[in-house]
Structure 1
Amino acid sequence: MSVRKRTLTIEEEKCLLHLPEKPNGYGILLVGDRNHYIQGETSLWTQHPTRKNLLEGLMEAGYTIFYCDQGGAHWGNDRLSVVLGRLKSLVMKTEILNQHIHILAEGMGALLVLRLMTDPSVSVRSAVFINPCFYLDKQLEEEKTNRFFYKKMIQEIKSSYGIEEKEIEDVCKKLGEICEKLDPSIPIRLIQAVYQAPYSMEKQTRFFIKEKKQTQKDLETTFYLPGKTIEQFLQPILTFFVKYE
């Protein structure tokens, strides 16, 4: 298909906007994991074969898609949440779209989405999470079993937030409080690939379900056996988005 793209820059972060040939009037904000990137007019979503298929499938359905470069292991930092909020506002001003957006997040991108879902100015219609990391403190606990990866994660958090190690506990506490404040009316869909995710299914997805199943109005979850690629989640994602339009 003919893919139309527009590049933007917000606070020195590159952003990409993908415009479908037949817009349906709805936008999707993509929020990625540590491997998410933009290079010029290309990105992980245009260069990775299965992600490209997912992107094109969403565009064929008429969705306008936008996202920003995230600089690697962001761990949900404040600066990127501001950039994403500004990106959403800019896209709403330049495109003819419904003001309430869908969000598709992968991995640690969930930490950024939690911030957006508690920001009334962002107006989230629904959110889909693939192999999410909702709890920074629980991921730190998980990494303690391997000293090398634990020290690496500590350095990533320090660098991403611009803080000292002693301040990480406060960051974890703040993110936990944000998770507790989620708008219960926003529909959420969890997609978990069993044994394929870099984050603990028990400490992330299952714990989130346990915490939110009584408060979240619409919370759907599907666990997939090994072997599934991200493009195979296209139909469940489309079905979920359309349900709330």
Structure 2
Amino acid sequence: MPVTERYFRQENQYAVIHLPIRPNGFGVLYIGGNTHYVDEEQSCLLQHFDKRKLLSVLTEEGYTVFTSNLYGKNWGSDDAVELAEVLYHSVMRKEILNPSIHIIGEGTGALVVCKLLAHLKEKVRSICLLNPSLNLKNELDLERENKLFYKRTVHEILKAYKTTDIYYAIGRTCYFYETISPIKIYSSTRNHFKWKKDIRLLEEERNRNNLPISILISLEEKKYECGKNLVKFLKKYQTVL
């Protein structure tokens, strides 16, 4: 029986490569949000029913999908960004893949993706964002309504950024305005209601600069049923090797 998962450790964090039966030579880096995890023998992409379906669509199409625990609730910290870059180079050494990859960022994982682009630059073939959180300050402002959640979130952010100054952390806003890599946003109705202003601002800015972006809005219960559409988007940007 072929090996379909390869687990390993980097910087005391677990990572996994999900291997397809028939590789197409292209890699997908999956950067999850605050509920994402990888441990010594499991991946959130396998344990979560709907995410497993998305993973299956990708691997059945031949994509090699790799992901890391990235320190858990990292809130887009520099440590998480650096480890994601290390993961990319490690996978490129381990697997026979085209060096130009696709990236999927989910939830607060989008905060890691936007900073990672400055490190990988021309190595990013396309970007898919699933229900993304695009602004850390806005994320924190939403939590102000519940004091308990707000204090916990502040504590998590300060720990992730290794600082005692919350304004230092949330002031380091990053955007997807400059990258030339095409972006596709998959937003559920609930997420779009929360982050409509941020998403539309990004769309308007990229359109103004003639940079490719598209948005697909789905019902909340169908937010992970974008596999076929996502694959179609990825394939559009594989003609140039």
TM-score (norm 2): 0.91
1:133 is displaced (CA, Å) by: 0.6
Contact 1:132–1:204 under 8 Å retained in 2: no
| Matching of residue 237 in structure 1 with residue 235 in structure 2 | no
Large movers: runs of 4+ above 4 Å: none
The change in CA–CA distance for 1:139 and 1:70 in structure 2 (over 3 A counts) is same
Distance 1:33 1:198 in 2: 16
Instruction: Look up the match of 1:222.
Output: 216
Among 188, 195, 202, which residue is 1:193 paired with? 188
1:68 is displaced (CA, Å) by: 0.5
Instruction: Look up the match of 2:151.
Output: 151
Distance 1:97 1:103 in 2: 14
1:48 is displaced (CA, Å) by: 1.2
Counterpart amino acid of 2:230?
I
Distance 1:213 1:151 in 2: 37
Instruction: Look up the match of 2:53.
Output: 53
Identity of aligned residues (%): 31
Distance 2:93 2:52 in 1: 26
Distance 1:244 1:32 in 2: 22
Distance 1:243 1:217 in 2: 15
Distance 1:149 1:198 in 2: 21
Instruction: Look up the match of 2:13.
Output: 13
Instruction: Look up the match of 2:43.
Output: 43
Instruction: Look up the match of 2:175.
Output: 179
| Matching of residue 74 in structure 1 with residue 67 in structure 2 | no
Residues paired across the two proteins, number:
238
1:225 is displaced (CA, Å) by: 2.4
1:212 is displaced (CA, Å) by: 3.0
Contact 1:68–1:84 under 8 Å retained in 2: yes
Counterpart amino acid of 2:218?
Y
Contact 2:18–2:65 under 8 Å retained in 1: yes
Instruction: Look up the match of 2:99.
Output: 99
Distance 2:177 2:189 in 1: 28
1:216 is displaced (CA, Å) by: 5.5
Deviation per residue, 1:181-238 (Å, 9 max, x gap)? 631x11000000011x3982224323332343323511010111232141x1101110
Structure 2 residues not aligned, in runs of 5+: none
1:122 is displaced (CA, Å) by: 7.1
Contact 2:176–2:202 under 8 Å retained in 1: no
- The alignment's C-alpha RMSD in Å is 2.0
1:6 is displaced (CA, Å) by: 1.0
Secondary structure, in 3 states, of the residue corresponding to 1:22? coil
Instruction: Look up the match of 2:142.
Output: 142
1:149 is displaced (CA, Å) by: 2.1
Distance 1:153 1:204 in 2: 20
TM-score (norm 1): 0.90
| Matching of residue 29 in structure 1 with residue 29 in structure 2 | yes
Structure 1 residues not aligned, in runs of 5+: none
